[in-house]
Structure 1
Amino acid sequence: MTFLTFLLPALYALIGLACGLPKLRQHAARVALVGVWTAPVLLVAILSSWWLFSADQSAPIYTSLLSALMLILVVFMAWVLVSFSQRYMAGEPRVDHYYRALMLTLAAVTLTLSSNHLLWFWAGWVGISLGLHYLLTFYPDRPRAILAAHKKFILARVAELSLLCAFGLLYWTHETWYLSEIMNQMYGALTWQEQVAACLIAAAALMKCAQLPVHGWLMQVVEAPTPVSALLHAGIINLGGYLVLSFYPLLQLSSAAIWLLLIVAGLTTVISALVMTTRISIKVRLAWSTSAQMGLMLLECALGLYELAVLHLMTHSVYKAHAFLNSSSAVHDYLTRKVAPDENPHFIAWGAAALFSTVAVGAAIWLWQYQGPMSPWLLMWFALTLLVAQWRSVPRPSAFLRLALTVIGLALLYGGLKSATGWLLHGHIPEHTVMAFGAEDIWACALFVVLFVLAICLRYLAHLPWVRRFSVTLFAGLYLDEWFTKLTLLIWPVSLPAYSKAKHHGVALIFPNLAKGWKK
């Protein structure tokens, strides 16, 4: 069992090391491709052993369906990224370094996902950060990319220290390093050690998911190769959500940890979604979108919507990978939107949109017999209302009746997928602890109302003076990243390597203080 558990991480690690061998450097792309084609075979063996040894709670692999789903996702994403990189990275002078770092990072990811032992979990977590740092600095002559990597490196060390302290406290309390054994003992009131551990885990997840105000690095690493951006946004950043889901039996018993997630992740969802509307660069828009989506996923976790968070995690990974790898079509999409009619919805359109959305959401709640927080359905109602109200502002608007049927179908599909995910995870997820219109649910509803109102104002009331001022503030990211940038430059100033071809006067336009230091 132990051998099978580490087969997948070992495969990716060996392939990564092979890519750096002198005799194989010129064939690194083919070596990596062989590795990702072999991984599914090993994954089948691992999942088979999971079923055979599921009764062994001390086994190194975490006996959870969530781990199995995540491993399947990672193996699939690895195949997609390496296949895409065959052409995208062709001709790069250091392509062997790229494949080596990519495969070693995937090895660390699979180690974390397949580890039931907290120390192995932490070791994989650290390995992911170190591998990602190398990938983010693949172009060492780009000052902004180096600065963003430094910010990520410093933040990652803080998150890792928080996680290590949390694991130490859990071991102190339960005298075991096995995650499954610790989570099985989560009931009743928590000790102070467990309370502190829960808050530290929540803080580590928030930092991993690039939540405000430590989000800036995520928007600034877009200068890395596109496959690296896809790996980061579609896989690695989701590990913050995986961390919360894995330790949810502990977190749900700590009101402090839950409200930390509710406040920070909730505000990040609103602010990042609004800031995204002010961005022009497709990659930067996607980066702000990732921050908002991760905030929403952590908010779902805090609301006790475990199955919805798992569904969100899986679908977001696939969507964001496609969005980054398909970012080259941004110009075509922009031109298509330009030819679309720009009509402001009138009162009748808003009324009809609200009516159809209410019918669709009500039918879905009744059909699937939903019981739990109502804030997710409120968000769905807002999204469907905007879709119907703006139906004539698309390049090829469909018939209104067809649109209405589509809205009802989307609501039913949303409820169906959530119910199906809950059925799939039956026995692996805790019961809902947040009731409809409780304090947590009201907080989430208030956030979604604010998001909806401000989005409408930015879209249709942009001529108002306060909206213009607010838009300018959003364009600056509410100036939330300035302090961390200054702190990073103070701790770890950006310095280019000697072989950099960047001109000093060009870098001086970005970092004038660095230029002064070079002159001295």
Structure 2
Amino acid sequence: MSLQWIIPLMAWFIPFSLFFAAITNERRASWGVARGVTLLGFVLAVLLGLGLSLDWLTLDKEARWTLASEASAIILGLVTFIGFINVGFSRSYMSGNSEDEKRYLRWLLVTLGSVAIVIATNHMLILVLGWLAITLSLHRLLIFYPNRPRAVLAAYKKFIFAKFAEVCLLSAVLILHYVHDTWFISEIYQQVKASESLNSWEQLAALLLALAALVKCAQLPLHGWLIQVVEAPTPVSALLHAGIINLGGYLLIVFAPLIVMSDIAQWMLLVVGGITTVLAALVMMTRASVKVRLAWSTMSQMGLLMVECGLGLFELALLHLIAHSCYKAYAFLNSGSEVESSISRRLSQAEAPRKSDWLIAGTFSLSLVGGMVWLFDATPPYSPWLLFAIALTLLVAERRGRLSVTGMSEMVWLSAFLLIVYSLQKSGLGLVIDNQQTSVGWPGDLWISLLLLLLMTGYLLLRYHHNLPWMMKVRRVFYAGFYLDELVTRLNLRVYPTRLPIRFKPKKLQIPKEELYQ
């Protein structure tokens, strides 16, 4: 007896159970039901992933409507895990007003269910409908406090940009159906992978998919809404940064063969994603607000995710997506205590690394990473290894931190441990998804390497030379985000005007005149 019927049953149970749980919030917020449904969804996703990885289950024609690839099962488990944590945190965070609790939990579950549909489906039209549902339900969460002008403006811009991305996605889907005469992602995946080149229609579809992913991931200059949605409740920010914004990367992963065979799509990802990675990371260093810093960090991480897909490193992109989701969920939900620790770090005196520290750290890191590349005969691109070497250099050189001092021997063992763990995780996910050979070659690798060196240079200047007169002017420009969001917002409101809520000024204290002359 075939067990293939279990795949669609388990996968589709997850989103529909979330929708059912949303309906149960008519009288009161059913937090227990929500926790149980998300936990059950996580367990089912794990079992589904294990079955596929151990070849107990296969994605054949009997389950053609479900899961585009084995990577989809991993992402489905990630989303349900984030949802389970988010619901548990939201229960205490939103407690107080029963009407607000019902409204919040209803739209939270609908949003989670819509995300689960996007990941669980192998049908392109259902994928598009799921993305539309995410936009509509997430919009209700972003304007949960409708009297906050910044929150409404951010949600409005997000809604407009999301519509543009969805038009690009729908156009790409219709083109792919016209060319390949199928609605199923896995079949298009196999057909494109078996072909030697793309025709003009497929090139256009790849470009539209890359554009949709860039807009969805809030890449420059359409990034301002991501910074301003911190006005929404903290668990909404955690859900957005840890789960929803990563869907742009997921879209590129499931259409991987199409992306790597289109030069224009790859270079768009490398140029826009690479520039966003560097600039957003440097802007983050100038900000004081914890949640705003995390938002700029998300932009930078998503830019790096776009770069990894542009270089064909899809196993690394999948690892990055999982790690970023878990980290950002923790960071946002723990942002309250992060304020205290951030203040402690700023008040503590840090010892700036000496020239000898930089020389030792750079030599050690390049030798360690270079030795790993030579030992395992790693193939291009090499820019991700350069990024790892830069990170190790900063880690070792700045070992005399603000709150603690770490010996060089301990840093050697820590660096070796991190490199081994990174290699094992990357190799493990390589069993689920393969890297793809791209056509950008060494020029694309060189472009990203130059950007990474620029990132390190900017970091050193902003960190250790920010008191120089010319650097103070540069820092001011970075703090303003190069004024890109102001330009985009003005253009957006001119093309699509809207009316923002006006906060009434608090009443002024009225003091009788006779009391002033006593």
Same topology, TM > 0.5: yes
Residue 210 in structure 1 maps to residue 222 in structure 2: no
Residue equivalent to 1:66: 71
- Larger displacement relative to structure 2 (96-105 or 403-412): 403-412
User: Which residue of the other structure, out of 464, 478, 497, is the alignment partner of 2:468?
Assistant: 464
Residue 189 in structure 1 maps to residue 197 in structure 2: yes
Residue equivalent to 1:90: 95
Residue equivalent to 1:444: 448
* Cα shift at 1:481: 0.8
The 3 A distance-change label for structure 1 pair 420 and 34 is closer
Residue equivalent to 1:263: 271
The 3 A distance-change label for structure 1 pair 122 and 347 is same
The 3 A distance-change label for structure 1 pair 58 and 250 is farther
Separation (CA, whole Å) in 1 of partners of 2:485 and 2:448: 25
Q: Residue by residue, what CA displacement relative to the aligned partner does 1:370-420 show, whole Å, maximum 9, x if unpaired?
A: 222110111111111111111113311122211222123222322232222
Residue 354 in structure 1 maps to residue 359 in structure 2: no
**Secondary structure at 1:481 match in 2:** helix
User: Which residue of the other structure, out of 356, 375, 381, is the alignment partner of 2:383?
Assistant: 375
Residue equivalent to 1:272: 280
Residue equivalent to 1:283: 291
* Cα shift at 1:200: 0.4
Residue equivalent to 1:141: 147
* Cα shift at 1:346: 1.6
**Secondary structure at 1:364 match in 2:** helix
Matches within 5 A, 1:398-477: 398-422=406-430, 424-425=431-432, 428-433=433-438, 438-477=442-481
User: Which residue of the other structure, out of 464, 486, 489, is the alignment partner of 2:493?
Assistant: 489
Residue 363 in structure 1 maps to residue 367 in structure 2: no
Separation (CA, whole Å) in 2 of partners of 1:66 and 1:29: 30
TM-score normalized with structure 2 length: 0.91
**Secondary structure at 2:416 match in 1:** helix
Q: Which amino acid aligns with 2:144?
A: F
The 3 A distance-change label for structure 1 pair 430 and 348 is closer
Residue 224 in structure 1 maps to residue 232 in structure 2: yes
* Cα shift at 1:460: 1.4
Separation (CA, whole Å) in 1 of partners of 2:197 and 2:232: 46
The 3 A distance-change label for structure 1 pair 57 and 303 is farther
Q: Which amino acid aligns with 1:503?
A: F
Separation (CA, whole Å) in 2 of partners of 1:418 and 1:47: 17
Separation (CA, whole Å) in 2 of partners of 1:394 and 1:464: 22
Residue equivalent to 2:252: 244
**Secondary structure at 1:235 match in 2:** helix
Q: Which amino acid aligns with 1:43?
A: A
Residue equivalent to 1:318: 326
TM-score normalized with structure 1 length: 0.91
- Larger displacement relative to structure 2 (297-306 or 365-374): 365-374
Separation (CA, whole Å) in 2 of partners of 1:188 and 1:470: 47
Residue pair 1:57, 1:181 contacting (<8 A) in 2 also? no
Q: Which amino acid aligns with 1:404?
A: V
Separation (CA, whole Å) in 2 of partners of 1:378 and 1:49: 36
Matches within 5 A, 1:159-174: 159-174=165-180
- Larger displacement relative to structure 2 (140-149 or 451-460): 451-460
Q: Residue by residue, what CA displacement relative to the aligned partner does 1:122-146 show, whole Å, maximum 9, x if unpaired?
A: 1111111111111101011110000
Residue 335 in structure 1 maps to residue 336 in structure 2: no
**Secondary structure at 1:94 match in 2:** helix
**Secondary structure at 2:245 match in 1:** helix
Cα RMSD, aligned residues only: 2.0
Residue equivalent to 1:516: none
* Cα shift at 1:434: 5.9
Matches within 5 A, 1:28-177: 28-43=30-45, 47=49, 51-56=56-61, 59-92=64-97, 93-177=99-183
Residue 345 in structure 1 maps to residue 353 in structure 2: yes
Q: Residue by residue, what CA displacement relative to the aligned partner does 1:189-241 show, whole Å, maximum 9, x if unpaired?
A: 21111111100000000001000000000000001111100000000000000
* Cα shift at 1:49: 7.8
User: Identity rate of aligned residues, in percent?
Assistant: 44
- Larger displacement relative to structure 2 (145-154 or 384-393): 384-393
Counting matched residue pairs gives: 494
Q: Residue by residue, what CA displacement relative to the aligned partner does 1:93-140 show, whole Å, maximum 9, x if unpaired?
A: 411011000100111111010111100011111111111111101011
User: Which residue of the other structure, out of 385, 389, 398, is the alignment partner of 1:390?
Assistant: 398
The 3 A distance-change label for structure 1 pair 201 and 505 is farther
Q: Which amino acid aligns with 1:401?
A: S
Separation (CA, whole Å) in 2 of partners of 1:160 and 1:133: 15
Q: Which amino acid aligns with 2:447?
A: W
Residue equivalent to 2:511: none
Q: Which amino acid aligns with 1:449?
A: L
Residue pair 1:58, 1:178 contacting (<8 A) in 2 also? no
Separation (CA, whole Å) in 2 of partners of 1:149 and 1:33: 27
- Larger displacement relative to structure 2 (478-487 or 229-238): 478-487
* Cα shift at 1:504: 5.0
**Secondary structure at 1:274 match in 2:** helix
Separation (CA, whole Å) in 1 of partners of 2:320 and 2:416: 20
Separation (CA, whole Å) in 1 of partners of 2:143 and 2:386: 41
* Cα shift at 1:468: 1.4
Structure 1 unmatched ranges of 5 or more: 507-520
Separation (CA, whole Å) in 1 of partners of 2:413 and 2:51: 45
Q: Which amino acid aligns with 1:184?
A: Q
* Cα shift at 1:3: 4.7
Q: Which amino acid aligns with 2:249?
A: G
Residue pair 1:108, 1:127 contacting (<8 A) in 2 also? yes
Structure 2 unmatched ranges of 5 or more: 508-518
Residue equivalent to 2:504: 503
- Larger displacement relative to structure 2 (244-253 or 329-338): 329-338
